[in-house]
Amino acid sequence: MYPTRGMIFVALAGVPIALVAAIIHPVYWLVGPAWILFSIGVFAVDALAVAGGWRSTCTLDAPGAMGVGRGEDATLVLTFARGAPSSVEFAVDPATLIEIAPLRQHADVVSRAARARLRLHPIRRGQDSIANVWARWRGPLGLCWRQRRYALDKKISIVPDIATVKEEAVRLFQRESGGVGLRAQIRAGDGAEFNALREFHAGMDRRAIDWKQTARHAKLLAREYQAEENLHIVFALDTGRLMCEPLMGSPRIDRAIQAMLLLSFVALRLGDRVGLFAFDERPVLSSGTVAGPGAFSVLQRVAAGLDYSTAETNFTLGLTQLSAGLEHRSIVVVFTDFFDTTSAELMIENVKRLLLRHTVLFVTFRDEELETMLKAEPRAPADISRAVLADAMLRERENVTMRLRRLGVDVVDVPVEQIGPGLIEAYLSVKHARGMAA
């Protein structure tokens, strides 16, 4: 407990009163000590009222698990057993992996309970907790602050944002949607696996006509094919230092995991097998391939366990071990990033070896911050230097992507927010091409 600003003003108000009284008559100097005793007395009365009558408990209603980058609401509730102040001020201890807003706020007491709304925004995967919350309120006279610390120790697991993944996947599965969808997945004449017979109509490929069935049914029938199933898709995630750097507010590795889970959800639904391989200076994870929609939760748990790393990426060791462990011809989806030509050369050489047997999809993270620096109007010499440096870095990245395309790599180069849909579009194109070649 400690005095409020009002209590300090009350105590200081006695100074001029005692001074004037002493000037009027020396005997009146006793007004000063009397005012001090009066101030102490009213403060003690207010403090006793706060300490003795207002017992309270504090709870936090917050989710136990949250998706990284996806904000959630939480509610602080301070309940008084008997008696209650008119208002309460809250202060929350900051967390490590979660941004909490606001950290301080004021709440009115209604029906002996004060409620405060918090916005929780996870910024990195891992395990975090909201340890303590501080609350204070004034006594009945408004002269004493009562402050208490409530140990919440609310643990929150921060995992990949599965809710957004499933929402996006459902939208993509709606064939009538106008966006990038799966409506092109099964079409007459596409793929290599026979699906059904249907009546021939204008616009269909004449090579699909089944003449035997046409003669039997006395009407023109055509074969409808669908894309090949049971493909093996292996995600190669670079978890090194550069991939753990933030891009547009979130680490690149988290954006890669979200895109990986989105494509996994779609591929498992379409009958393909999916596996995950992660590496930095050495291989750190190899899950093997799984199949069926029920296996999505397995990939989710495996991806959630990937830690952030400060190590430099060893493309030679990582991609060589990945290639040695692939028993079937696969679609290898590589998530990585680079800033210097040396690491890019090593990456290209090892991707070239993968292409001898496998199909490679390369996901590059378009750095919109560099593009903004390049297009910004220069207002100072430093702006020109930044623009020149950004232009050089973007040219180097463009040269690397062009070399990859010449090798036969399908490069997914889209804005950061469109990586998931762009990756699915590339996957469907490769799946269709593999089916036609089968």
Q: What is the pLDDT of residue 38?
A: 82
CA 410 → CA 3, 76, 365, distances in Å?
A: 69, 50, 14
CA–CA dist 90, 324 (Å, integer): 57
What order of strands is seen across the sheet that includes strand 232-238?
Answer: 283-291, 273-279, 232-238, 330-335, 359-365, 410-414
Provide the residue count of the chain: 438
Give the gyration radius of the chain's Cα atoms. Answer: 33
Per-residue pLDDT, averaged over 242-262, amounts to 87
CA–CA dist 17, 28 (Å, integer): 10
CA 252 → CA 241, 372, 376, distances in Å?
A: 10, 18, 24
H runs (alpha helix) in 207-314: 211-217, 252-269, 296-304
Q: Which of 131, 62, 76 is closest to 106 using CA atoms?
A: 76
Q: pLDDT (tens digit, 9 = 90+) per residue, 26-36?
A: 777 777 778 78
Structure-model confidence comparison of residues 223 and 319, the more confident one: 319
Fold of 56-159: Immunoglobulin-like (2.60.40)
CA 402 → CA 178, 244, 315, 398, 418, distances in Å?
A: 30, 25, 19, 6, 20
Q: pLDDT (tens digit, 9 = 90+) per residue, 110-119?
A: 988 999 999 9
Query: What one-letter code names the amino acid at 124?
Result: R
Tell me the domain boundaries of the chain.
56-159, 162-184+229-437, 196-226
CA atoms 198, 203, 208, 210: torsion sign: positive
> What is the β-pairing status of strands 193-199 and 144-159?
unpaired
Average pLDDT, the chain: 82
Let me know: does 44 contact 11? Beta carbons within 8 Å: no
Question: Which tokens belong to 423?
Answer: 């990756």
H runs (alpha helix) in 126-251: 162-173, 211-217
* Least confident residue range of 7-11, 51-55, 229-233, 331-335: 51-55
Q: What is the pLDDT of residue 199?
A: 82
Q: What is the pLDDT of residue 8?
A: 81
Question: Which phi and psi (to 5°) does residue 162 adopt?
Answer: -75, -30
Task: Tell me if the domain spanning 162-184+229-437 has CATH number 3.40.50.410.
Answer: yes
Let me know: does 171 contact 177? Beta carbons within 8 Å: yes
Peptide bond into 85 cis (omega under 30): no
Check whether 333 has a pLDDT greater than 90.
yes
Check whether 306 has a pLDDT greater than 90.
no
Q: How confident is the model at residue 194 (pLDDT cuts 50, 70, 90)?
A: low
CA–CA dist 266, 427 (Å, integer): 10
CA–CA dist 424, 436 (Å, integer): 18
CA–CA dist 350, 379 (Å, integer): 43
The two domains 56-159 and 162-184+229-437 share their CATH topology (first three levels equal) = no
